[in-house]
Structure 1
Amino acid sequence: MRIIHLNTYEGNGGAGRACMRLNDALNAHGAKSEVMVYYQFKESSKTKTFTKTRFQKAIAIFNILAERYLVKAFVKRLKTPFSLQWFGRSIYKHPDLKNADIIHLHWINHGFLSPKSLAALDELDKPIVWTFHDSNAFTGGCHVRYACENFHQQCGFCPLLKASGKDDISHKTWLRKMKAYAHLNFHIIAPSNWMASSIKISSLLGARDVRVIPNTIETHIFKPYVKAEAKKILKIAPEKFVLMSGFMPSTNDKHKGTAYLIEALVKFSKRPGVVKENVELVIFGNKDQAEMPEFPFKTTFLGNINNDEHLAKCYSAADAFITASLEDNLPNTVMESLACATPVIAFKTGGIPDMVKHLQNGYLAAYKSAVELANGMEWLYRLQDKEAIQKEARRTILTAFSPEVIAKEHLNLYKSLLEVHPR
C-alpha cells in the first residue's frame, strides 16, 4: 500500500510534526508512506517537494508571502490566524500522486491548495483522506474559532474582518469551498473528539462521515528520564518544584492564553504554604526574552529546542507542564509531556481532555479560570504520591497514542477505503 501525505511544509508547526510522525509510524508497520510538501526551507531526504526548479520555488515563495501578508489588508489587528486561500498549486498530474493508492491531506494553506486546486484532485480517482489539524477546512477563513458560530451557517459577518457583512470575504470563501467539496469525495479524520463534534455542526461538512484517530508520538524518544538527573542537566536543584511551559507569546495573544497563565502563576505564588524559593519556572520556545513579562518565580529560558531527546529530558525535569491554550485540537506539547511522565495542567478545552484525565495524569481547569489553573499547580505541589500520577501519564500515551496503535487505526481505514473504491 502506497500512501502520499501532503503538507505545506516539512515538520513546521503542530500539523507538520504530526504528519511526519504518522509517516514514520506507517513505514514502521509495513506501509510505503511518503510525505510531499509544497515548500522545503532546506533540502531534505525526509520529504519530496513540488517546488524543485528556481521558477517553481519563486512562484511558491510568492504564493506563501501573498497569503501571509495580503490578509493583513482585510483582517483586524488580532492574533487569530485567517487564510484567504486565493493562491494554489495544481498538483493532480504529478506522477507520484498518480502512482499512490491513498492520498492523505494534512495542513495545505499558505498558497499550497486553494479550493479550486483541491477539487482538481478528484481527477486522480483515488481515495482521499484529510486530517483536520485546525478548523480552517470548514470555516470561511479562520483557523481558530473561539466562540464564533458563523460556521454553523454560511459564514459572513466575520468578527475578524475589517469589512464584515453578509457577503464578506469569509462568506465568499465559504461558497468557494462548498463548490470545491461538491466535486471532491474525501474522508475526514479528526484527531480529537472536540474537532469531530465541531465538524458535525458545520454547514460545510456536517453531513460527512468523520473518523476520530489521534496523532501519535515517538514513544522511544519522548520517554521518562530520572527526574533528579534531568534537573541536573538544566542546572536546577533536585528539590525544586519545576513548572514548565511552552512558547510564551505576547500577553495580548488570545490563542495561547498567556494572560491567564501569568495571573495563575501569581495567584499560586501567594497561596499559603507555597515557598517561592522552592519553585522554578522553565520556558522553552521563547523567541525574545526582552518581550517576556515578569514572573513571580525564578525563571529559566531554554530558547528553541531542536533536539527531541534533549526536549524529552527538559519535560522530564519538570514536575508539571502548564498550558493556558484557549483552543487547541490535540496539542503536541501535551502529548510530549505526558509521554515523558510529566503531568499536565491545562484548561478543559479542545482536544486536551482526550489526553489529560482530571486528577489521574494531570489537572483540567475550568475554562478561562486563572484561579483553577493555580488550583492545579497547588494540587500537584502538595501531592504526596507524585509518582503514581507520573506513571499514569506515561501509561496514557502508550495505551492510546503510541505509533503502533495509531498506525494500525490508519491502515485499517485505508484498507476499508480501498476495498470499496472502484478500480
Structure 2
Amino acid sequence: MIDLKVVHLNTYDGNGGAGRACLRLSDALKASGIDSKVLVYYKFGRNPEIDTFSKSPLQKAKAVYNILSERYFAKWLSKSVKTPFSLQWFGRSVINHPDIKNADIIHLHWVNHGFLNPKFLAQLDELEKPIVWTFHDSNAFTGGCHVRYGCEHFHQQCGHCPILKISGKNDISHKTWMRKQQAYTKLNFHIVAPSKWMAASVKFSSLLGTRKTTVIPNTIETKIFKPYVKSEAKKVLKINPDQFVLMSGFMPSKNDKHKGTPYLIEALEILSRRSGIQKENIELVIFGNKENAEMPEFPFKTTFLGTINKDDHLAKCYSAADAFITPSLEDNLPNTVMESLSCATPVIAFTTGGIPDMVKHMQNGYLAKYQNAEDLANGIEWLYHRPNKEEIQKAARLSILTDFSEEVIAAEHTHLYETLIGLQPK
C-alpha cells in the first residue's frame, strides 16, 4: 500500500446525504490503509477526526453569515422554498490550510452554502494537485438548481429557469452558469458520479460534458447496517411480528409533488381496495423529521418513529420492515435505499435516477414504472403475497456486499487516485 494522503472537503459533517457519504468514504479509505481526512466548513458534531475551517468565534460567525445569506437570498429569489437553489455568491479560500497543502489528492464533495463558490474553486488550481469531485447532486453542472425535475436547460447555458421568480434568457441561473464556466476553464478535476444516471447527466451538460467521469458508488457500513431477526426487530418497535410492515422515510408534504408523496398516497389507496389485501395486516412505519410537516392521511395503520439518530437502531428499524418504499421522482443514489438493502429489506421504488443501480427488478426489490401509482401498488402486493420472502431478503443483502461494501468502494477510489498521480496505467 502506497503512502497516499487524501483530504475530503464538504460543507457539513454528516448533515445530509452527501455529508454521510463523504464520511463513510473517508472511513472506508482509512480502514484500507489510506491517510484520509475530512475538512468541513461548519462542524455540528464532536467527531475529533473531522476538522473544520471555522474554529474561532470570528470564523464561526463568518461561516454562519455566509451559510444563512446564501440560503436566504436563494429562497427569496425562488418560487418555492422546498426547491433547493444555490447562488454561490459567498465563499472562502481554503488553499492555505496545512492539510490541503500536504495532501496528494483533494476530494471535493458537497461544497455549497457559502463554502466554495466558483472564484475559490478556481483558486484550487494554484495547488497543482489532482482534484476529484463527487457529484452528490446536479448543482455543479447547472446554473443553480440541485435537483432538475426534468428541466434540460443545463444542456445549453441555463436561463429561463423554472425555479426562479424572475426568469429569462439572462436570469440568475444563466449568470451563475457563466461564472462556473469561467472558473472551470481554470480548474482541472476528475468527476466521480455515484450513479450511472448522474454520469449520463454530466455528459449532457454544456458545462462539463467533455470532462472525464468515473462511476463509483457511495459506500455503507455493512457491519452496522446489517440484518437482524425480523420478528425480534418488530418487537423492538412494538409491532406485531405477524404484521406486514411497509417502511418509508418521512414525506414532508402531501402536496410536494417533487418528492413523489402523492404517488405513494395513491398507491396505498389503490392497494387498500384490492381484494387480496387484508388492510388490518399491513402497517406503514415512517421515520424522519416531521417538524413543520403536513401529515398525509394514509389508508393503513401508520406509525411515526420521528428522527432516528443512532445507526444501529436505524438498522433494526429497516430489519423490522418487510419492504422499504420510496416514491422519489429524482434521486442520485439515495442512502435510504442502500441502507435498507444492506439490512436485507427489499426496496420498492420508481425506475428513476440511480435507484436502478441498486434495485434489481424482482430480484432484490421492485422497480415500478415512473410516476405510475398503480405499478407502485403492484410492487407492494408482489412482496405481500410472495411465499418465500427470505430468498429476496438474502439477495438484497448480497447485492450490497458485492457492489457497495467499504472494501470494494475504497479499492475503486484508491485505483482512481493512483491513476491521477501516475501510479496506475490510465
Flag whether TM exceeds 0.5 (same fold). Answer: yes
Matched, 1:410 2:376: no
User: 1:165-196: per-residue Cα shift (whole Å, max 9, x none)?
Assistant: 11100000000000000000000000000000
Runs of 4 or more above 3 Å deviation = none
Q: Which residue of 2 aligns with 1:93?
A: 96
Q: Which residue of 2 aligns with 1:69?
A: 72
* CA gap 1:22/1:42 in 2 versus in 1, 3 angstroms: closer
Aligned-residue offset at 1:289: 8.3
* CA gap 1:42/1:390 in 2 versus in 1, 3 angstroms: closer
Aligned-residue offset at 1:78: 5.5
Matches within 5 A, 1:194-205: 194-205=197-208
Q: Which residue of 2 aligns with 1:375?
A: 378
User: 1:242-268: per-residue Cα shift (whole Å, max 9, x none)?
Assistant: 000002211222332111111111111
Q: Which ranges of structure 1 fall in alignment gaps of 5 or more residues?
A: none
**Matching residue within 167, 171, 178 for 2:174:** 171
Indicate the SS of the match to 1:8. Answer: strand
Matched, 1:231 2:234: yes
Q: Which residue of 1 aligns with 2:340?
A: 337
Aligned-residue offset at 1:96: 1.1
User: 1:209-248: per-residue Cα shift (whole Å, max 9, x none)?
Assistant: 1000000000000011110000111111111000000022
Aligned-residue offset at 1:146: 1.4
Indicate the SS of the match to 2:396. Answer: helix
Amino acid paired to 1:162: K
Report if aligned partners of 1:79, 1:254 keep a CA contact under 8 Å in 2.
Answer: no
Cα distance in 1, alignment partners of residues 292 and 152 from structure 2:
36
Q: Which residue of 2 aligns with 1:321?
A: 324
Q: Which residue of 2 aligns with 1:156?
A: 159
Q: Which residue of 1 aligns with 2:123?
A: 120
Amino acid paired to 2:83: T
Cα distance in 1, alignment partners of residues 181 and 294 from structure 2:
42
* TM-score under structure 1 length normalisation: 0.98
Report if aligned partners of 1:80, 1:254 keep a CA contact under 8 Å in 2.
Answer: no
Report if aligned partners of 2:196, 2:357 keep a CA contact under 8 Å in 1.
Answer: yes
Matches within 5 A, 1:141-152: 141-152=144-155
Report if aligned partners of 2:350, 2:368 keep a CA contact under 8 Å in 1.
Answer: yes
User: 1:123-175: per-residue Cα shift (whole Å, max 9, x none)?
Assistant: 11110000000000000000001111000000011111111111100000000
Q: Which residue of 2 aligns with 1:256?
A: 259
Report if aligned partners of 1:329, 1:350 keep a CA contact under 8 Å in 2.
Answer: yes
Q: Which ranges of structure 2 fall in alignment gaps of 5 or more residues?
A: none
With 76-85 and 363-372 compared, the bigger mean Cα shift is at 76-85
User: 1:7-38: per-residue Cα shift (whole Å, max 9, x none)?
Assistant: 00000111000000000000000000010000
Q: Which residue of 2 aligns with 1:4?
A: 7
Report if aligned partners of 1:281, 1:297 keep a CA contact under 8 Å in 2.
Answer: yes
Q: Which residue of 2 aligns with 1:285?
A: 288
Indicate the SS of the match to 2:36. Answer: strand
Amino acid paired to 1:364: L
Cα distance in 1, alignment partners of residues 168 and 310 from structure 2:
47
Q: Which residue of 2 aligns with 1:181?
A: 184
Cα distance in 1, alignment partners of residues 141 and 362 from structure 2:
34
Indicate the SS of the match to 2:123. Answer: helix
Indicate the SS of the match to 1:364. Answer: strand
Identity of aligned pairs, percent?
73
Matched, 1:301 2:300: no
Matched, 1:221 2:224: yes
* TM-score under structure 2 length normalisation: 0.97
Amino acid paired to 2:361: H
Matched, 1:102 2:111: no
Cα distance in 2, alignment partners of residues 181 and 187 from structure 1:
12
Aligned residues: 421
Aligned-residue offset at 1:291: 2.7
**Matching residue within 329, 348, 360 for 2:351:** 348
Report if aligned partners of 1:286, 1:302 keep a CA contact under 8 Å in 2.
Answer: no
Amino acid paired to 2:105: I
**Matching residue within 45, 50, 71 for 2:48:** 45
